[in-house]
Chain A
Amino acid sequence: MNVPNVTRYIHAYKSAPWRIEIQWAGSVSLAVIASLMVGAMYLSVSSSTAVAGREIQELNAAMIANQQINTDLQTELATLTSSSTMEERALELGFRPVAPDEVEYLMVPGYFEPKPDILASAELPQMSAQTVPHEYSQSLLNWLDERISVPTRGIQ
């Protein structure tokens, strides 16, 4: 291929106005598509966050309700095993209080009386700012900022 021909083709390509226009149209379309994609992603993340937030609200309400039910059941159990109830049941079953002279003490080498277990109400995990992942609270821009700034901070 000779050089004058190549130069001519390049000149012809550059000077063709429709090519320039297509370049412009393409660029604008690309920008629009990119914006649409970012927008769609933002909408997607926002809706996911909203759904997750709603779930958190519902779970929180359920957690409080369950906690109340547990406490209620615990109290009911304590009522069923109260001192007077247990004594009545023991007497019905034919047991009677032991007399001091009926007790025989035995020495068991190595035995230590176990310490009582205190049955405090189970601590349910409480929601707080520290336990919620960032993904549920940060915006897309925050996320991008984090992604961009993390390597920079890493270098520092």
Chain B
Amino acid sequence: MRQQYARRSQALMYVIVLIALAIVVQMFRIQNSSEAAIFRQRASNYAYELKTYYPDRGEIYDRNGHLLAGNTIVYEVGVDLNAVQDVNAIATAVSAELGMDYAAVANAIQDPGEGISYVVLADYVDAENALNLQALKKALNDQAGEGVAGGLVGLEFKSHPHRSYPEKSLASNVLGFVSREGLGYFGVEEKYDALLAGSPVQVLVPTDPNKAFEIPRVPDGTTLVLTVNRDLQAATEKILDESLANYGAQNGTIVIMNPSNGEILAMAVSRRMDLNQFWNYGSIFDTASQFNPAISTPYEPGSVIKILTMAAALDSGSVVPGTTYLDTGAILVGGATIQNWDENPWGLQDMTGCLQHSLNVCMAMLSTNMGATNFYSYMDNFGLGHLTGVDMAGEAAGRLKLPGDADWYPVDLGTNAFGQGVTATPIQIMAAASSIANKGRTVMPHVLSAMVRDGRQYNVPAQFAGTPISESTATTLTGMLAVSLESEGSLALVPGYRIAGKTGTAQIPVNGFYDASQTNASFIGWGPVDAPEFMIYVWLERPSTSIWGSETAAPVFAEVAQKTVLLLNIPPDSIRQQIVAK
């Protein structure tokens, strides 16, 4: 009996083993069959999906954390042609909501071209419009009932970020803008385009959930913190706009910089554009240099250059503040007669009087006494004719003609000394003048304060471009400039604060000749004199109420300076000195 059971068990075991073997053999056969290879090939086609990632472009903040450039969600509206059921419904809804042509939408869906399964109807659609369409699609689906497709089935929405400027036109000349292709133009957006990045990236993403760890990490762009103070920028732009109206100027530029470290606190220009509507660029600007004249438009600055000439003369030892000369109202340089601005003699003058009365003859005398080599060496060291390296796109270098250049004449040695025949941008003159305000050291103007990436902030240190003059020259000249303003009761003076500065009135060359009725009125000044915290440059183009910088640019400087000390919490000199004394 037991033997019979044993045989049955044995037989059962053989059967099971045979079945098991058959299964294993079949498994191997299927796995290695030609059909399996085909299936494997087909499966591999779906193993990865080509996806477009839209990393956020780095934001731009002002120095106090106010967002100047951010990102907002916009939508791409398209149609999945395999799912679409009612072309008319989609065309009607899309044309009504997005203001598109019904026939064009219907045609795009019905005649998409061969092999196309998805059609983009519109991109950069505002969230409001896209959400309206999404709500309509959902309502129609609900209305259609369970298991029945709604009329807008096939209409798809893909969200992606888009550059947005909450302050609209504020500091537009500093920021620049980003095109729909994700490219930065002008200003910081162009200069730091690679850092800000955030361009769409196409990557292969594994669809196999077991390979989830292979999902690529597309990093967002670097966030930038600017040195610009938003409130000061807004106040400066407002003052500039009012000044253009008050003085009948065609255009204007005001720049505020910290002369001790080169941080640009505000940079206002009269032509500004709402950066959210960058496509209006062509209707606002005729040339690219008009976008930010503070760095892109060199002009003959006139008498503001005199502070550089005087700095060179003092530093080279040609003169001291007390050096006197007899002003006869004219001087012959290179065979040409140079006259004072009023064509009158000013008699015996010292160097402070020379600056106070802005005497061209005095300046021509200084430059000729120094000699061309010495004079141009100083001007070159001040950075005239060179880029300052300011970190905004589109900087122009201006022109400083040098002996040996084809268009340089001996008279240029005289005229260059008071700002004729030499061109510079406002930022160049500020960089040069910073050496006078900053104990002889020239700062590099910049707008980038810090970068924030992966949660870490990297601060940008101040950089210096050289030391064209000594500290004692800088201190002496600053004192002379302050005295000259105080002596003439300049409209640039700010109650409670000691200011150093210089006006500039430059005739504008028209058809090869200087037109006395058209001028560029400028003023450069800084304060408080003993510890400068701001340097302000004002440039008004062709003011009509008065051609003189002392009557137009100087009072604008005073107004900007008063606003600056308020917004930067700079107490009057008397209080500040009390604080320092304690």
Task: List residues of chain A with CB under 8 Å of any chain B CB.
Answer: 16-18, 21-22, 24-25, 28, 32, 46, 49-54, 56-57, 60, 64-65, 67-69, 71-72, 74-76, 78-79, 81-84, 87, 98, 100-101, 103, 105, 107, 113, 116-121, 123, 126-129, 132, 136-137
CA gap between A129 and B59 in the complex, in Å: 27
* Contact partners of A25 in chain B: CB under 8 A: 9, 13
Which residue from A24, A56, A83, A87 sits with its C-beta under 8 Å from B212?
A56
- Residues 506-535 of B, flagged 1 when their CB comes within 8 A of A and 0 if not, give 000000000000000000000000000000
Shortest CB-to-CB span from A129 to chain B, Å, is 5
Name A's interface SS.
helix
Chain B interface residue bracket vs A: 35 or more
Q: Are A121 and B56 in contact (CB under 8 A)?
A: yes
A71-B71, A118-B452 known; A53 vs B208 contact (CB < 8 Å): yes
Shortest CB-to-CB span from A146 to chain B, Å, is 17
Per the 8 Å Cβ criterion, residues 1-19 of B in contact with A are: 2-3, 5-6, 9-10, 13, 16-17
Residue in B closest to A80 when the chains form the complex, CB atoms: B166
Task: List residues of chain B with CB under 8 Å of any chain A CB.
Answer: 2-3, 5-6, 9-10, 13, 16-17, 20, 53, 56, 59, 61, 63-67, 70-73, 127, 159-161, 164, 166-168, 170, 208-215, 217, 219-220, 223, 225, 230-231, 233-234, 450, 452, 454-455, 457, 495-496, 562, 565-566, 569, 571-572, 575, 578-579, 582
Q: Are A67 and B56 in contact (CB under 8 A)?
A: yes
CA gap between A46 and B209 in the complex, in Å: 10
Q: Are B5 and A18 in contact (CB under 8 A)?
A: yes
Q: Are A56 and B215 in contact (CB under 8 A)?
A: yes
Q: Are B217 and A128 in contact (CB under 8 A)?
A: yes
* Contact partners of A50 in chain B: CB under 8 A: 209-210
Residue in A closest to B276 when the chains form the complex, CB atoms: A79
Which residue from A17, A49, A68, A69 sits with its C-beta under 8 Å from B6?
A17
Which residue from A53, A78, A113 sits with its C-beta under 8 Å from B70?
A78
A-B interface contact total, Cβ < 8 Å? 156
A18-B6, A126-B217 known; A87 vs B209 contact (CB < 8 Å): no
* Contact partners of A98 in chain B: CB under 8 A: 566
Residue in A closest to B71 when the chains form the complex, CB atoms: A71
A57-B215, A71-B70 known; A120 vs B210 contact (CB < 8 Å): no
Shortest CB-to-CB span from B130 to chain A, Å, is 12
A65-B159, A82-B168, A116-B65 known; A72 vs B211 contact (CB < 8 Å): no
* Contact partners of B571 in chain A: CB under 8 A: 105
Which residue from B72, B219, B450, B562 sits with its C-beta under 8 Å from A75?
B72
Residue in B closest to A105 when the chains form the complex, CB atoms: B571
CA gap between A83 and B495 in the complex, in Å: 27
Q: Are B230 and A83 in contact (CB under 8 A)?
A: yes
Q: Are A120 and B223 in contact (CB under 8 A)?
A: yes
Which residue from A21, A69, A84, A103 sits with its C-beta under 8 Å from B566?
A103
CA gap between A65 and B571 in the complex, in Å: 48
